[in-house]
Structure 1
């Protein structure tokens, strides 16, 4: 039997996706995976990268790139601990609130997975073997 008061995570489904360009030039991409180069990037370049859930692009590090896997691993996306919705929910959902600021075009937001206090999870893949390998970690 499950323990009492087991935490049930809020469910969200992806039904649409917005394509965006983070504005990071090809010459700056590698700096997001090298701690020394990362801290030399101008603030406006680093601040242009979203902390929201996304596929592709470069990561928005909460701490630093030093925890990322080295070698032939490819960044494929990140998951934010806050769900962002670009459409209002069809039904009243108690854990979803309207976003008056419309951050990055979202209409509503809600608490997502607990990756620490406001954390972000990072997804990497390595395609060198017969089967691809995945690497998942988070920073908070």
Structure 2
């Protein structure tokens, strides 16, 4: 495949690659995403998480900036909060303390702003009603 004419070529079709493509599109006119997997297997690691993302949030008001929630859904659901400290503790636990502390701190602190950025780029989020396994 000729690469002439593309400003940026992103290899992969998972969450990280698609974020890179969206970011590149802010300054580049022509962005190409290449995914080796067949359509039914596309999505990188995101395919195995059913698209679920772990983000820091402070209740339904924060989540309402990302997903459309009816008044009834807000009233009947306890979304709780998920603090940066909880995020960091979970990352340490699931990685058996093998995650880089500085990078994990950035991941936790930037998770909600990144989700907002994705939403502004047209990515649609929905609540994972009853599907949480972590």
**Quick check: TM above 0.5?**
no
Task: Indicate the TM-score class for this superposition, using the shorter chain for normalisation.
Answer: under 0.3
Structure with greater strand share of residues = 1
TM-score by length of 2: 0.27
TM-score under structure 1 length normalisation:
0.26
Higher helix share: 2
